[in-house]
Amino acid sequence: DQQVKQNSPSLSVQEGRISILNCDYTNSMFDYFLWYKKYPAEGPTFLISISSIKDKNEDGRFTVFLNKSAKHLSLHIVPSQPGDSAVYFCAASERGKGGSEKLVFGKGTKLTVNP
Protein backbone atom coordinates (compact mmCIF):
# COMPACT_ATOMS: atom_id res chain seq x y z
CA ASP A 1 0.00 0.00 0.00
CA GLN A 2 1.78 3.09 -1.27
CA GLN A 3 1.51 6.03 1.08
CA VAL A 4 3.35 8.39 -1.27
CA LYS A 5 2.48 8.29 -4.95
CA GLN A 6 4.06 9.88 -7.96
CA ASN A 7 1.72 8.92 -10.75
CA SER A 8 3.80 10.25 -13.63
CA PRO A 9 6.82 8.03 -14.30
CA SER A 10 8.24 10.57 -16.73
CA LEU A 11 7.94 14.18 -17.84
CA SER A 12 9.52 15.96 -20.78
CA VAL A 13 9.71 19.77 -21.06
CA GLN A 14 11.50 22.33 -23.15
CA GLU A 15 14.36 24.35 -21.76
CA GLY A 16 13.13 27.61 -20.26
CA ARG A 17 9.62 26.34 -19.64
CA ILE A 18 8.07 25.33 -16.33
CA SER A 19 8.35 21.76 -15.00
CA ILE A 20 5.62 20.63 -12.62
CA LEU A 21 6.08 17.38 -10.73
CA ASN A 22 3.21 16.05 -8.69
CA CYS A 23 2.93 13.90 -5.60
CA ASP A 24 -0.02 12.55 -3.59
CA TYR A 25 0.00 11.05 -0.12
CA THR A 26 -2.46 9.19 2.02
CA ASN A 27 -1.14 9.47 5.59
CA SER A 28 -2.34 12.64 7.31
CA MET A 29 0.28 12.13 10.05
CA PHE A 30 3.17 13.13 7.77
CA ASP A 31 4.58 16.38 9.17
CA TYR A 32 6.94 17.50 6.47
CA PHE A 33 7.70 16.72 2.88
CA LEU A 34 10.86 16.74 0.83
CA TRP A 35 11.93 16.58 -2.79
CA TYR A 36 15.11 14.81 -3.78
CA LYS A 37 16.84 14.74 -7.12
CA LYS A 38 18.80 11.69 -8.23
CA TYR A 39 21.30 11.21 -11.03
CA PRO A 40 22.35 7.69 -12.09
CA ALA A 41 25.08 6.18 -9.90
CA GLU A 42 24.59 8.85 -7.24
CA GLY A 43 22.57 9.04 -4.06
CA PRO A 44 19.51 11.29 -3.79
CA THR A 45 20.33 14.98 -3.34
CA PHE A 46 18.06 17.13 -1.20
CA LEU A 47 16.31 19.90 -3.13
CA ILE A 48 13.64 21.54 -1.03
CA SER A 49 11.26 20.75 1.80
CA ILE A 50 8.02 22.04 3.25
CA SER A 51 6.47 21.75 6.67
CA SER A 52 2.88 20.60 6.93
CA ILE A 53 1.99 23.96 8.50
CA LYS A 54 2.93 25.85 5.34
CA ASP A 55 1.47 25.83 1.86
CA LYS A 56 4.44 27.15 -0.10
CA ASN A 57 8.20 27.20 0.09
CA GLU A 58 10.50 28.76 -2.48
CA ASP A 59 14.21 28.40 -3.10
CA GLY A 60 15.54 29.99 -6.26
CA ARG A 61 14.07 28.26 -9.28
CA PHE A 62 12.34 25.65 -7.11
CA THR A 63 8.97 26.09 -5.41
CA VAL A 64 7.02 23.45 -3.55
CA PHE A 65 3.29 23.80 -2.97
CA LEU A 66 1.35 21.81 -0.39
CA ASN A 67 -2.42 21.31 -0.42
CA LYS A 68 -3.18 19.49 2.82
CA SER A 69 -6.89 19.11 2.19
CA ALA A 70 -6.16 17.34 -1.08
CA LYS A 71 -3.08 15.55 0.33
CA HIS A 72 -1.17 16.78 -2.69
CA LEU A 73 2.11 18.53 -3.24
CA SER A 74 3.88 19.72 -6.33
CA LEU A 75 7.36 20.89 -7.27
CA HIS A 76 7.67 23.72 -9.78
CA ILE A 77 10.95 24.37 -11.56
CA VAL A 78 11.12 27.69 -13.39
CA PRO A 79 12.87 28.06 -15.75
CA SER A 80 13.81 24.47 -16.48
CA GLN A 81 17.39 23.79 -17.54
CA PRO A 82 18.93 20.73 -19.24
CA GLY A 83 20.96 20.09 -16.07
CA ASP A 84 17.68 19.54 -14.23
CA SER A 85 17.22 16.28 -16.12
CA ALA A 86 17.16 13.59 -13.42
CA VAL A 87 14.77 11.42 -11.41
CA TYR A 88 12.84 13.40 -8.81
CA PHE A 89 11.58 11.71 -5.66
CA CYS A 90 8.87 13.02 -3.39
CA ALA A 91 9.31 11.93 0.24
CA ALA A 92 7.30 12.34 3.41
CA SER A 93 8.62 12.29 6.96
CA GLU A 94 6.94 9.92 9.39
CA ARG A 95 7.79 10.22 13.06
CA GLY A 96 7.61 7.27 15.38
CA LYS A 97 8.17 6.45 19.02
CA GLY A 98 11.39 7.41 20.75
CA GLY A 99 12.28 10.10 18.26
CA SER A 100 12.48 7.78 15.31
CA GLU A 101 11.96 9.19 11.87
CA LYS A 102 11.74 7.60 8.49
CA LEU A 103 11.25 8.96 5.01
CA VAL A 104 8.58 7.38 2.85
CA PHE A 105 9.40 7.82 -0.84
CA GLY A 106 7.37 7.79 -4.01
CA LYS A 107 8.56 5.84 -7.04
CA GLY A 108 10.01 8.89 -8.70
CA THR A 109 9.42 10.92 -11.86
CA LYS A 110 12.07 11.06 -14.55
CA LEU A 111 12.35 14.63 -15.82
CA THR A 112 13.92 15.32 -19.18
CA VAL A 113 14.59 18.93 -20.14
CA ASN A 114 15.22 19.27 -23.85
CA PRO A 115 17.52 22.04 -25.14
Partner 1 sequence: DAGVTQSPTHLIKTRGQHVTLRCSPISGHKSVSWYQQVLGQGPQFIFQYYEKEERGRGNFPDRFSARQFPNYSSELNVNALLLGDSALYLCASSSWTGSGYTFGSGTRLTVV
Task: List residues binding partner 1 (CB under 8 A).
Answer: 4, 6, 34, 36, 41-46, 49, 89, 91, 93, 95-96, 98-108
Q: Which is nearer to partner 1, 10 or 114 (CB)?
A: 10
Q: Please, what is the minimum distance in Å from the beta carbon of residue 115 to partner 1?
A: 27
Query: Nearest distance from residue 15's CB to partner 1, in Å?
Result: 27
CB of 48 to partner 1, least distance (A): 11
> Least distance (Å) from partner 1 to the CB of residue 24?
14
State the burial class of residue 10 (Cβ atoms within 10 Å of its Cβ: 0-12, 13-18, 19+): exposed
The residue among 80 and 89 lying less far from partner 1, judged by its C-beta, is 89
Question: Residue 4: which of 90, 74, 63, 75 has the closest Cα?
Answer: 90
Pick the closer one to partner 1 by CB: 38 or 72: 38
Residue 112's nearest CA partner among 93, 84, 92 is 84
- The answer to whether the beta carbons of residues 84 and 19 sit under 8 Å apart is yes
DSSP reduced 3-state for 98: helix
Cβ atoms of 48 and 57 within 8 Å: the answer is yes
Between 1 and 83, CB nearer to partner 1: 1
